[in-house]
Amino acid sequence: MKGGLRTIQAREGAHAQLLRQRLRELGEKTIIDVPPERYERDVPFFASPDRSDLEKLVFLGHLFEDLDDFFQPITDLIAEIREDFRSREILRTILDDEYATVKWFAHMQRSLEASS
C-alpha cells in the first residue's frame, strides 16, 4: 500500500509543478490553494487511524464510480484547447496518470477485500 501511495504522491507533486510552471510561462502569477473546507472534509477521514485502508479505498471507489463523468471537466478543457499545444499535452498526459491512479486504487481495494 505505502509503495503505491508514494508513487501516486510523487506523480501528483510532479503534476502540480508542471502546471504551476506552465501557468507562470503563460504569465499567471496567482497560485490557488486548496479551499479550507476541502481539508476539513477530506483530511480527517483519510488521516484517521480509526479508518481502515479498505474503508478509504471503498470511499474512493464510490467517488470514481463513473470515471468518464468524474474526469469530464478535464476532457472538456483538453478538447477546447486549440492553439496552446503544450498546455493541452501536459493536461492529456496528467489525465493518463490520473486514470492509472484510479486503476491502482481499484486494484488495491480488490486485493484488500480478497484478503479480508
First-to-last CA distance in the chain? 15
SS3 114: helix
Contacts of 58 (CB under 8 A, 6+ apart): 109
Given a cut of 50, the residues of the chain with pLDDT beneath it are none
pLDDT at 67: 93
Q: Which residues of 30-60 are buried (b: 16+ CB within 10 A; e: fewer)?
A: eeeeeeeeeeeeeeeeeeeeeeeebebbebb
DSSP secondary structure code for residue 27 in this structure: T
pTM (predicted TM-score):
0.87
pLDDT for position 41: 86
Residue 50 zone, left/alpha/beta (φ > 0; ψ -120 to 50; rest): alpha
Please say whether the beta carbons of 54 and 112 come within 8 A: yes
Q: Where are the beta strands (DSSP E) in the chain?
A: none
Instruction: Kindly list the domain boundaries of the chain, sorted by start residue.
Output: 2-115
Query: 5-36 pLDDT, tens per residue?
Result: 999 999 999 999 999 999 999 999 877 788 88
